[in-house]
């Protein structure tokens, strides 16, 4: 009975996510779900991305956190279209929460929707939100072993970002090990390095510009049954 309940919850989430995706595509919105552990730099990346691209793209942001609106307040300095979702004890965003947040955004005036998920390397992975792309973010201060220890996040991430590269001279981080593990887990992932804090984001911004400008190339989310 327990298994049946869990399966029903996931099926319900997937149904809502499919509807979210259809609504977003109908409005021409390109959507990313940004995943990563607490403190890896997700909010800083969103802030810098907004500052760099807001003149060329209409961007909205949905931010998930257990408590507080601190991230939304930071992001609101760069973008008026931000919705904070407090998940309480929930360790990830679910599709119905994103649907409710989407109702507060004018999607027809939006080119790019960034969803900053709750800081967690495990729980957000299995929940489709209706995004086009999941972006998995790691940072050099977390250690190079994290992709191998949290393989499902890498497996589900179309893009893998390594942040805080400016700290590489000061932390023990084996870049080769990181790259090797990521390639083994998700050979077709786009792997990018950045320092959000120092605004070294060229490859990330180029990738985002290209994808957001080409909604016709929006493709189905990666699944084990539908490998790309
Ligand atoms: Mg954050």
* Segment 130-189, tens digit of pLDDT: 999 999 999 999 999 999 999 999 999 999 999 999 999 999 999 999 999 999 999 999
Around ion ligand 1, residues with a beta carbon closer than 5 Å are: 42-43, 71
How many angstroms is it from 71 CA to the middle of ligand 1?
Answer: 5
Classify residue 36 as left (phi > 0), alpha (psi -120 to 50) or beta. Answer: left
How many angstroms is it from 182 CA to the middle of ligand 1?
Answer: 23
Report how far apart, in Å, the C-alpha atoms of 189 and of each of 6, 183, 203 are: 29, 7, 14
How many angstroms is it from 205 CA to the middle of ligand 1?
Answer: 19
Rounded distance, CA 38 to CA 43, Å?
A: 10
How many angstroms is it from 177 CA to the middle of ligand 1?
Answer: 26
CATH of domain 30-213: 3.40.50.300
Cβ contact 40:138 at 8 Å: yes
Rounded distance, CA 116 to CA 139, Å?
A: 16
How many angstroms is it from 64 CA to the middle of ligand 1?
Answer: 8
pLDDT in the model for residue 215: 59
Count the helix, strand and coil residues of the chain and give each as a percent rounded to the nearest 5: 45, 20, 35
Give, as one character, the DSSP assignment of residue 27. T
Give, as one character, the DSSP assignment of residue 192. E
List the chain domain ranges.
Answer: 30-213
How many angstroms is it from 61 CA to the middle of ligand 1?
Answer: 12
How many angstroms is it from 35 CA to the middle of ligand 1?
Answer: 10
Q: What is the pLDDT of residues 13-67, one digit of tens each?
A: 999 999 999 999 999 999 999 999 999 999 999 999 999 999 999 999 999 999 9
């Amino acid at each position: 009975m327990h298994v049946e309940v869990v399966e029903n919850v996931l099926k319900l989430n997937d149904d809502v996510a499919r509807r979210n995706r259809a609504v977003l595509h109908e409005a021409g919105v390109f959507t990313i779900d940004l995943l990563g552990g607490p403190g890896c730099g997700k909010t800083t990346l969103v802030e810098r991305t907004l500052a760099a691209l807001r003149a060329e793209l209409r961007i909205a942001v949905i931010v998930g956190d257990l408590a507080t609106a601190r991230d939304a307040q930071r992001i609101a300095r760069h973008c008026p279209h931000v919705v904070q979702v407090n998940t309480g004890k929930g360790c990830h965003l679910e599709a119905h929460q994103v649907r409710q947040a989407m109702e507060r955004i004018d999607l027809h005036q939006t080119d790019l929707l960034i969803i900053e998920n709750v800081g967690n390397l495990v729980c957000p992975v299995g929940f489709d939100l209706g995004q086009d792309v999941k972006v998995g973010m790691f940072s050099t201060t977390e250690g190079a072993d994290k992709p191998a220890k949290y393989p499902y996040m890498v497996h589900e991430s179309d893009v893998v970002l390594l942040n805080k590269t400016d700290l590489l001279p000061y932390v023990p981080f084996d870049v080769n090990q990181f790259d090797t593990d990521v390639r083994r887990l998700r050979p077709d992932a786009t792997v990018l390095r950045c320092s959000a804090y120092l605004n070294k984001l060229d490859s990330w911004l180029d990738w985002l510009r290209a994808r957001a400008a080409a909604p016709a190339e929006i493709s189905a989310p990666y699944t084990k049954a539908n490998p790309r």
